[in-house]
Amino acid sequence: MLLYIVRHGETDWNKRHKVQGRTDIPLNDYGRRLAEETAEGMHDIPLDLAYTSPLLRAKETAQIILRDRNIPLCEDERLQEISFGSYEGLFCGGEQIDEKSEEFNRFFNDTANYIPPADGETISQLYERTGDFLREMEGRKDLAEKNILVSTHGAAMTSLLNRIRGNLSTEHFWKDEVPPNCSVTLVEIKDGKAEILKEGMIFYKEKVKKWKTV
């Protein structure tokens, strides 16, 4: 089994450094263009099935990449972004920074000491639910010869890849940085074990700026 794991395209909240999490923000025009160029780059890759987070930005990215391929697109809540609860909607970077952004920015800058709000989700909870998705894929013998698109989010994707690397550390969650929008990582599942074959593939010409919180 080959998994093509992709982070969604850009949204207006990405561009404005607003905390998204479970807030259901669609792609902006630039994000759709990144997805369209990714679709062009993946045009010759045969895909048999696709899984997506139910959030609009991930689902639309998957739909654009799939184009007119007549294959199932399955929504899976385990692929949703981490919930930031009451932090969602905060400006956490750029020129306009909210007062509570320092507390939120520990999620990126001091992850071991990040404390989510009461209505948010912990990194351990994120590891558990994305890990449950990965374990299911590793056990799906009926999909052993399939190529599968997986459309998800920055933290959820990082959680999946960290588990494959054997890193379940909270402190070093961002050791390999935030995946760029519409970057694709190829994972092979063979004999019930996942392995990263190629990471951070970019199929578009633009140079997307890395996420920074300052």
Question: pLDDT tens per residue, the chain (214 residues)?
Answer: 999 999 999 999 999 999 999 999 999 999 999 999 999 999 999 999 999 999 999 999 999 999 999 999 999 999 999 999 999 999 998 878 888 889 999 999 999 999 999 999 999 999 999 999 999 999 999 999 999 999 999 999 999 999 999 999 999 999 988 899 999 999 999 999 999 999 999 999 876 555 444 3
- Minimal CA–CA distance to 26: which of 1, 56, 59, 58? 56
- Distance between first and last Cα of the chain: 40
Which of 37, 60, 81, 121 is flagged as catalytic?
Answer: 81
pLDDT of amino acid 33 = 96
**Is 172 considered catalytic here?**
no
Which of 8, 10, 60, 88 is flagged as catalytic?
Answer: 8
Q: What is the largest CA-CA distance in the chain?
A: 50
**Is 81 considered catalytic here?**
yes
